[in-house]
């Protein structure tokens, strides 16, 4: 039997996972966009009419956006326990974790997932 709180609770999980997907997608788009900027830097600099200093400032600002977005992805709170979801990170930024490091909620899991602390993950 479902209680009246279950739909709201699942909706919260869904909302948090959608937020995580958006953050992660933004990181990967920014990260992959960095390579064309670096590769075509001279052309972009000329196209925008920037001096070398202006292009370096633009590049540093872009790299900062990549880092901040990656940092937000890596510090994403678990929808169940509220602690940082990922214990493992790729280059310190992007999570590769499939389970919450604390409550063992699976990645993309909902309120119906019953992994609890202390249980083995197979």
Integer Cα distance of 95 and 28 in angstroms: 12
Assign 62 a pLDDT band (cuts: 50, 70, 90). Answer: very high
Q: Measure the CA angle with vertex 93, ends 87 and 99; round to 5°.
A: 30
Confidence check: pLDDT of 22 > 90: yes
User: Can you give the residue range of the structural domain that contains 15?
Assistant: 6-95
Most confident of 9-13, 89-93, 118-122: 9-13
- Does a structural domain hold residue 88? yes
- Short-list 11, 8, 13, CA closest to 107: 13
Q: Regarding beta strands 94-95 and 89-90, do their DSSP bridges make them parallel or antiparallel, or are they unpaired?
A: antiparallel
Confidence check: pLDDT of 107 > 90: no
Tally of structural domains, the chain: 1
Tokens read off for 48: 């925008």
Tokens read off for 11: 């909706």
Assign 32 a pLDDT band (cuts: 50, 70, 90). Answer: very high
- Does a structural domain hold residue 82? yes
- Does a structural domain hold residue 107? no
Residue 31 is predicted with a pLDDT of 92
Residue 7 is predicted with a pLDDT of 60
User: Taking residues 63-82, what's their average pLDDT?
Assistant: 89
The sign of the dihedral angle between the CA atoms of 28, 103, 84, 121 is: negative
How far from the centroid of its chain's Cα atoms is residue 65's Cα? Answer: 13
- Does a structural domain hold residue 122? no
- Does a structural domain hold residue 120? no
Residue 92 is predicted with a pLDDT of 60
Residue 88 is predicted with a pLDDT of 64
Most confident of 11-25, 41-55, 76-90: 11-25
Residue 4 is predicted with a pLDDT of 44
């Amino acid at each position: 039997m479902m209680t009246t709180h279950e739909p709201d609770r699942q909706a919260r999980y869904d909302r948090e996972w959608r937020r995580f997907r958006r953050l992660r997608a933004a990181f990967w788009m920014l990260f992959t966009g960095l390579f064309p900027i670096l590769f075509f830097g001279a052309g972009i600099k000329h196209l925008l009419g920037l001096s070398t200093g202006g292009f370096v400032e633009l590049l540093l600002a872009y790299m900062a956006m990549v880092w901040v977005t990656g940092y937000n992805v890596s510090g994403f709170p678990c929808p169940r326990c509220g602690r940082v979801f990922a214990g493992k990170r790729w280059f310190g930024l992007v999570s590769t974790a499939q389970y919450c490091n604390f409550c063992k909620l699976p990645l993309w899991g909902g309120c119906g997932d019953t992994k609890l602390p202390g249980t083995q993950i197979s």
